[in-house]
Chains A and B, each alone.
Chain A
Amino acid sequence: MTNQTTIHLTINGHQHELEIEPRVTLLDALRDHLGLTGTKKGCDQGQCGACTVHVDGQRVLACLTLAAQVEGRAVTTIEGLAEADGTLHAVQAAFLEQDAFQCGYCTPGQIMSAVACIREGHAGSDDEIREYMAGNLCRCGAYPHIVAAVRQAATEVAS
């Protein structure tokens, strides 16, 4: 093994120490090294959004982020979205209620993206939700229900 380096990651509020090569992406660090497989690998080239996580509260693509880059930043994944007692985030609950997914593979990325979309203030209308959720592909075609879920959760978050 060559070029291993020690990095410290803060994920869902927990500290992790990893011995990995600098070329390991955040996505592979999460899935292969930390067992946090909720974040999905759909394309590994920034074209599908399945790997969406939050870094310092902003939605980003874990497949185009090196794990080393986020040392010192707070990473949130789908596993860290619900409250510690299991209470679902409003977006998660809305996805279930609106049936905003089928196979479930794009779903963690959709939900992480939706949480950020609402926080950014880009959930003001259905058309705005569609545009600002366009970076998360869903091949099962849950889009209308995703829009409904984001709209519902945005209303709940606001109230």
Chain B
Amino acid sequence: MRDFSYLRAGSVDAARQASALPGAMLLAGGTTLIDLAKCGVAEPDTLVDITHLKGLDAITVDDRGATIGALAKMSSIADHADIKSRFPAVSEALWQAASAQIRNMATIGGNLMQRTRCPYFRDRENFPACNKRTPGSGCSAIGGVTRGHAVLGTSEACIATYPGDLAVALVAFDAIVHLGDRQVQVEDFFLLPGTTPDKEHAIQQGEVITAISIPGTPAARRSTYLKVRDRQSYEFAAASAAVGIEFEADGRTIRDLRVALGGVATKPWRARAVEAALKGKVLEADVVRRASLLAMEGAVDHGANHYKIELAPRVVARAILKMGETA
């Protein structure tokens, strides 16, 4: 790691001011930032430690929804009784992410800032070309080992997969990021790579994530997060789906459906075409399987990641059908 200065912010305002300085970065759980600093991908001059700020880790849940302080740990949210009962997909996305140790370190605000696991992005020495790391340098992944790369939301500049789980669930349930007074839909907080893959988040230097809020809905209450991967645990998704469902009074007709995908796209990916195709339909396996194929509209593979185009709709269908079984 390059040498840097370390300072502890005494307040959110102090953190905001300190992080506005050139070369300054906010340090929360450190599970992404310290890792990337060791890879030489992050080169902060100053780390502004916000983990000692008080009052930013509260989790409040009521009928309107949940509000989670930015410094709440992934593990506390995953194990929170009201989150488990009212937002099962959020809890499940969290406990299936990373490892118990990392979930004890990583904060929900930091989790939104998690960066891709693209091996070319992470290896500066061997692969100097990376538009995400060095704008305009090219993309080493295209034409390389692409088994883990995205099939949705890619561009000629970048095919790096968004690696996280939590944000997939957040996107499904229209969660909002609070940047102090400014609020942004989580879905809009993540940017497509386009020609500027270095710009990943709709956050400005000097802004601080203070909270996440998730509207309480019947679909969020009947929800699940299904994660498929080579290894049973401690691995990023090959494909995952956050699904929430609300039935009409007949218990069979779909009134509301939320579907988002992980492990296959450059950002947490809302599959609105699947939702639209199934809303108002009676839940039946064949119909669900057919509609789930719509999740891959516009998908482009790069060879070794082709399987994701086959796999992801099956994950979506399984998750939707699982929610139907519990009707």
Interface residues of A (CB under 8 A from B): 2-3, 5, 21-23, 25, 44-46, 49, 52, 58-61, 64-66, 68-69, 72, 113, 116-117, 120, 122, 130-136
- A3: nearest residue on chain B (CB-CB)? B3
Pick from B29, B79, B100 the residue with the most CB of A within 10 Å: B100
- A24: nearest residue on chain B (CB-CB)? B1
- Flag whether B281 is at the interface (Cβ < 8 A): no
When the two chains form their complex, are residues B3 and A61 in contact, meaning their CB atoms are under 8 A apart? no
Chain B residues contacting A136 (CB-CB under 8 Å) are 99
Instruction: Known contacts A59-B104, A69-B51, A72-B52; decide if A135 and B34 are in contact (CB<8 Å).
Output: no
| Shortest distance from the beta carbon of A44 to any chain B beta carbon, whole Å | 7
Chain A residues contacting B35 (CB-CB under 8 Å) are 45-46, 64
Residues from 36 to 54 in B contacting A, C-beta threshold 8 Å: 37-39, 47, 49, 51-52
- Flag whether B300 is at the interface (Cβ < 8 A): no
Instruction: Known contacts A45-B35, A65-B34; decide if A120 and B79 are in contact (CB<8 Å).
Output: yes
Provide the bound-state CA to CA distance between A69 and B234, in Å.
Answer: 25
Q: Please name 30 pairs of A and B residues whose Cβ atoms are closer than 8 Å in the assembled complex, sorted by A.
A: A2-B3, A22-B5, A22-B6, A23-B1, A23-B4, A25-B34, A45-B39, A46-B35, A46-B102, A49-B99, A58-B75, A58-B104, A59-B104, A60-B101, A60-B104, A61-B101, A64-B29, A64-B31, A64-B102, A66-B34, A69-B49, A113-B101, A120-B75, A120-B79, A131-B95, A131-B232, A132-B100, A134-B100, A134-B232, A134-B234
Provide the bound-state CA to CA distance between A102 and B310, in Å.
Answer: 41
When the two chains form their complex, are residues B4 and A22 in contact, meaning their CB atoms are under 8 A apart? yes
- Flag whether B60 is at the interface (Cβ < 8 A): no
Chain B residues contacting A117 (CB-CB under 8 Å) are 100
Provide the bound-state CA to CA distance between A46 and B29, in Å.
Answer: 12
- Flag whether B105 is at the interface (Cβ < 8 A): yes
Provide the bound-state CA to CA distance between A134 and B29, in Å.
Answer: 20
The 6 closest A-B pairs by CB, nearest first: A135-B99, A22-B6, A134-B233, A58-B104, A64-B34, A23-B1
Provide the bound-state CA to CA distance between A2 and B99, in Å.
Answer: 35
Chain A residues contacting B293 (CB-CB under 8 Å) are none
- Flag whether B27 is at the interface (Cβ < 8 A): yes
- Flag whether B30 is at the interface (Cβ < 8 A): yes
| Shortest distance from the beta carbon of B56 to any chain A beta carbon, whole Å | 16
When the two chains form their complex, are residues A23 and B101 in contact, meaning their CB atoms are under 8 A apart? no
Provide the bound-state CA to CA distance between A72 and B8, in Å.
Answer: 12
Known: A25-B34, A46-B102, A66-B34. 15 other contacts (CB 8 A): A5-B6, A52-B101, A58-B75, A59-B101, A61-B31, A64-B105, A65-B34, A66-B27, A69-B27, A131-B95, A133-B100, A134-B100, A134-B232, A134-B234, A135-B233
